[in-house]
Amino acid sequence: MMSLFVLPAARRLSAACVLPLLLSAAPVFAADLRHGEDVFAQECAECHSVREGKNKKGPSLFAVAGRRAATVSDFAYSDAMRQAGIVWTPAALDAYLANPRKAVPGGKMKYDGLADTHDREDLIAYLAGLK
């Protein structure tokens, strides 16, 4: 499952990154994850925690990758999210992060969306590592 989330970030490696990738994949991968973590801190952390069982205004995002939507215990989801039938695959996360209101009409997340594709990729990669 992890590889599914790493791929989007890896796809945009530039030529300058190839050598370090050959020498060691870890630095490049970590850099993207670090950016994803920063994106999370800037865009998401006000309302979401990455700690298991820590719900804030939004549910905990610990182990969100591959999880069925609206299944975190002790969190009051909107009816729209409960009925959305979403599984948080990379594609589903990408669509939701790009435009939450369009992806889940009637949902209660007050977020306009993350427009930058690379930011979404790195964020999704970071979320995939939360296990």
Instruction: Give the footprint of other proteins on this chain (CB under 8 A).
Output: 38, 41-43, 45-47, 49, 51, 54-57, 75-76, 101, 110, 112
Instruction: Give the C-alpha distances (Å, rounded to integers) separating 103 from 74, 91, 100, 111.
Output: 23, 11, 5, 12
Residue 16 CA from chain centroid, whole number: 26
By beta-carbon proximity to other proteins, the closer residue of 49 and 89 is 49
Closest approach, Cβ 89 to other proteins, in A, equals: 25
Closest approach, Cβ 120 to other proteins, in A, equals: 14
Closest approach, Cβ 85 to other proteins, in A, equals: 21
Q: How far apart are CA 17 and CA 2, in angstroms?
A: 21
Closest approach, Cβ 77 to other proteins, in A, equals: 8
Query: Please, are residues 5 and 65 in contact by the beta-carbon 8 Å criterion?
Result: yes
By beta-carbon proximity to other proteins, the closer residue of 45 and 130 is 45
Instruction: Identify which of 37, 41, 25, 61 has the alpha carbon closest to the alpha carbon of residue 122.
Output: 37
By beta-carbon proximity to other proteins, the closer residue of 34 and 131 is 34
